[in-house]
Amino acid sequence: MPKTVLITGANGEIGHGLIEALSTRPDVRIVALDLRPLEESLAHRCHATVVGDVTDSELLARLASEHSIDTVFHLAALLSSRSERQPLLAHRVNVDGTLNLLELAISECRTEAKDVVFVYPSSIAVYGLPDLETKDSAAAVDEDSYVEPTTMYGVNKRYCEMLGGYYADHYRQLDAEPSRGHLDFRCIRFPGLISAATIPSGGTSDFGAEMLHAAAKDEPYACFVRADTRIPFMAMPDAIKALLLLEAAPKARLTRQVYNIAAFNPSADEIRRLTLDAFPNAIVTYAPDLRRQGIVDAWPADVDDSAARRDWGFAPDYDLLRAFGEYLVPALGRR
Ligand code: AKB
């Protein structure tokens, strides 16, 4: 029987790559949900496309009645900068929306007596380093250190990590009869992601991608963080690879529900220099936005992803130089 995979936020940065990767698998039927109609290049790859809002529980109930969901990739979210500007909307989408999807998944488990894998993208935004001295001395932060988010987005992501753990391990624990189906919650804390296919919106790690895409379009770019700002980044193909690896991993191999993954952690100026190497006429200046700077200064310079490498074999294909030389610059040149 084909496996039915629900992808929320399907039109987003990660959604594009995930649909392209999953649609090559004959055993997978994709149900794509997004606020906006799916681009035609993606829609024809899906078994069904639904235009709607993850906060609409009636819509989700109808969706669940029409499809027997086996796996959920819940990508829909407002990112960190936009969440700071619209905190109540962020909570509604990032938390209430996730609660709705967890309820949809656990209902599938209980009514069909099957396990549903729920893959959830969290973020380095759950970390809150207290000051730059601590950030510089902390080196690679593991999953259990400095989990003190300072943004609405980071708080949302941390809460939903815990909510997923509740639905997986403790849901309705006072019921007389335990459910025969279980929700299998799996979570990745993503670094900043850089895609050649899409320009991010609403993130605070977006300076990396914005700089490169502006240069490719021969537009000047004023970077909103300092030149020495350093956070973890990853090329989008490795993010997609990680989601698929984690989803497919035997549950017995997993020693935790929430995993860091890492690839490279350049400073903003290292990104600028590689951008200028690729686009010599680019004009990249610095105009730090002290408020947004404060957000990324609280994020770790690097994360420890040894658990992901040990438990489910994650290893990035792209380091910084390969990401630019073999993925970003060639793809942007073609675009
Ligand atoms: C953001 O910048 O808000 C996101 C993230 C780091 O999770 N890209």
123 within ligand 1 shell (Cβ under 6 A): yes
Instruction: Decide if 316 contacts 263 (C-beta within 8 A).
Output: yes
- Catalytic residue list contains 153: yes
CA distances from 153 to 100, 193, 303 (A): 18, 16, 19
The answer to the question of residue 289 being in a domain is no
CA distance 195 to 192: 10
Instruction: Give, using CA atoms, the residue closest to atom 1 of ligand 1.
Output: 203
Q: Which helix (H) or strand (E) holds 25?
A: none
Q: How far apart are CA 298 and CA 207, in angstroms?
A: 16
Residue 29 lies in a domain: no
Please tell me which residue in 153, 221, 259, 327 is annotated as part of the active site.
153
Candidate of 75, 127, 155, 204 to mutate for ligand 1, largest count of ligand atoms within 8 Å of Cβ: 204
Residue 284 lies in a domain: no
Helix (H), strand (E) at residue 187: strand 183-190
**Distance from chain centroid for Cα 285:** 28
Residue 133 is part of a domain; what is its CATH number? 3.40.50.720
Pocket flag, ligand 1, residue 314 (CB < 6 Å): no
Does the beta carbon of 204 sit less than 6 angstroms from any atom of ligand 1? yes
pLDDT of residue 139: 84
Nearest CA to ligand 1 atom 2: 203
- Side chain identity, residue 331: A
Whether 119 is in a domain gets the answer yes
pLDDT digit string (tens) for the chain, length 335 residues = 899 999 999 999 899 999 999 999 999 999 999 999 998 989 999 999 999 999 999 999 999 999 999 999 999 999 999 999 999 999 999 999 999 999 999 999 999 999 999 999 999 999 999 999 999 999 899 999 999 999 999 999 999 999 999 999 999 999 998 888 999 999 999 999 999 988 878 999 999 999 999 999 999 999 999 999 999 999 999 999 999 999 999 999 999 999 999 999 999 999 999 999 999 999 999 999 999 999 999 999 999 999 999 999 999 999 999 999 999 999 998 87
The angle formed by the CA atoms of residues 19, 68 and 313, to the nearest 5 degrees, is 50
Q: Ligand 1, atom 7: nearest CA belongs to which residue?
A: 123
> How far is ligand 1, taken at its centre, from the CA of residue 178, in Å?
37
pLDDT value of position 333:
87
Q: Is the CB of 205 under 6 A from ligand 1?
A: yes
pLDDT at site 1: 81
Please provide residue 192's backbone torsions phi and psi, each rounded to the nearest 5 degrees: -65, 135
Give the Å distances, CA to CA, from 238 to 71, 127, 143, 164: 20, 21, 19, 24
* Residue 334 in domain: no
Token digits of residue 80: 């960190």
Q: Which residue type does 245 have? A: L
Establish if 259 belongs to a structural domain.
Answer: yes
Q: What angle do CA 153, 321, 298 make, to 5 degrees?
A: 25
Q: Whose CA is nearest to atom 6 of ligand 1?
A: 192
Residues present in the chain in total? 335
Name the residue range of residue 132's domain.
Answer: 77-193+234-263+300-318
CA gap 178, 236 in Å, rounded: 39
Q: Diameter of the chain by CA atoms?
A: 69
Bridge-based pairing of strands 71-74 and 183-190 is unpaired
Q: What is the pLDDT of residue 131?
A: 98
Report if residue 172 sits inside a domain: yes
Which residue in this structure is represented by tokens 């690097």?
Answer: 302
pLDDT at 64: 94
Q: How many structural domains is the chain composed of?
A: 1
DSSP letter for 92, please. I
Q: Is the pTM of this model over 0.85?
A: yes
> Ligand 1 center to residue 125 CA distance, Å?
7
Assess if residue 163 is contained within a domain: yes
